[in-house]
Amino acid sequence: MFAAHHRLANLCAIVDANGQQALGYTRDVLELEPLAAKWESFGWEVANVDGHDAAAICEALPLLSRNYPSDAPHALVARTVFGKGVPFMEKQVRWHYLGLTDAQLAEAMTHVDSAKA
């Protein structure tokens, strides 16, 4: 609200919307949807993007300021999957607070490295 009130048009918040928090899925602990509409209701211009698509993020950021005629701050809601690309971690709330063993880290890095190729 402060940012919109003071017309901080050069401000951009990037929200990692992965549907989880340390205590569980956000839909069960504290429903956040419709997330974009909530940011908009406080005077922000909002765009949703696939948070795993770096090109889409880079494309969306400059469009936020170009496509909005006011001095509104901007929010980019990056829709992500927690632990994406690491099968034993994907969508598993416990990885918000558990540490990896050396073996788990090695396995996770194998999946991450293969996704880069």
Q: How far apart are CA 17 and CA 58, in angstroms?
A: 17
Overall residue count recorded for the chain in this entry:
117
Q: What is the pLDDT of residues 78-95, one digit of tens each?
A: 999 999 999 999 999 999
Distance CA 117, CA 32 (A): 35
The two tokens of residue 53 are 């698509």
Cβ(34)–Cβ(77) below 8 Å: no
**pLDDT digits 0-9 by tens, 55-79:** 999 999 887 766 555 789 999 999 9
Model's pTM, two decimal places?
A: 0.84
* CATH numeric code, 2-116: 3.40.50.970
Whole-number Å distance between alpha carbons of 7 and 19 = 29
pLDDT at 15 over 70: yes
Instruction: List the domain boundaries for the chain.
Output: 2-116
Residue 5: half-sphere exposure toward Cβ, Cα within 13 Å: 2
